[in-house]
Amino acid sequence: MVKNLSREPDAGELTERITIEKYTPTRTPAGQEIPGWKFGETRWARNHVGSSTEAWRARQIFPEVTGVFILRGYLDVTPRDRIVCGLRRFDILAVTDPFGGKEPLRAEWLHISYREGQTKGS
């Protein structure tokens, strides 16, 4: 896998099929917000795994992986959303335009920083 994040990937490097799950909370009759997600757009992306750790909490081991998905932009995505790739779910930490600083809906390419672990109701 190419590790250079400072250039646009070639089409052949976009090998991961990801789906953005949009954050769509519901409210109880008492007004309490309940987190929820619904499937959004599906795109091809390149996955660059950055690091992984394991934490020992409550007598259990919790693995955590961080990295960056690189994909074509023009996409409505925020850190409240999450990514599904196969059977795995990833929390979005940040969404950036690596080549121009534009917002995700106007950027040609996006870097979506993620964390995989037990968070965000997964």
Q: Domains in the chain, start-ordered, CATH in brackets?
A: 11-116 (2.40.10.270)
Instruction: Please tell me the total number of residues recorded for the chain in this structure.
Output: 122
The predicted-structure confidence for 10-44, as pLDDT tens digits, reads as follows 889 999 999 999 999 999 999 999 999 999 999 99
Share of the chain above pLDDT 90, in %: 61
Q: How many CA atoms lie within 13 A of 116 on its CB side?
A: 21
User: Mean of the per-residue pLDDT values for the chain?
Assistant: 86
Residue 115 burial (10 A CB sphere; 0-12, 13-18, 19+): middle
